[in-house]
Structure 1
Amino acid sequence: MHPNGDELILVLSGRLDLILETASTCRTETVQTGQFIVVPKGVWHTADVPEPGRALFITAGEGTQHRERSPGY
């Protein structure tokens, strides 16, 4: 989770299944080659990588926090 800014993820090749968790919801967004997603600041997130690929992450990294993955994801 990045508290100081949004994160932009651009999938250059392959696919990411991005898991986004807020206080009230948990959802999965699939991002494929040529697509991007913006993860809002303060949103916990992780990803499954079902096939090899490359992605570009632009992150406001200062203050980044880590935790164990939520059960079921």
Structure 2
Amino acid sequence: MQKDADDLSGAKLENVIMDIIHNAAVVEELVEKRVGDKEDWGWFKQLRFYSTQGGRGGDVYVKMLACRQEYSFEYQ
């Protein structure tokens, strides 16, 4: 039972690390391409998360290009 919990914790940690590496690469690309406006293609093509309210009470949706989808935290 403990081994399963340790394996799950390790997998979660690995995913967090991979997300951080990916996010750093995205930021580096945005800086290199001098993206400075939300209408810029470099920003517009990214997968972006938005909340309808500040904090924890609102709905979350994702946008990429002209697509908008509700986010339902499928992987948590």
The structure with more radius of gyration: 2
Q: Which of structures 1 and 2 has the larger relative contact order (alpha carbons within 8 angstroms, sep 6+)?
A: 1
Higher helix share: 2
Higher strand share: 1
Scaled by the length of structure 1, what TM-score is found?
0.25
Scaled by the length of structure 2, what TM-score is found?
0.24
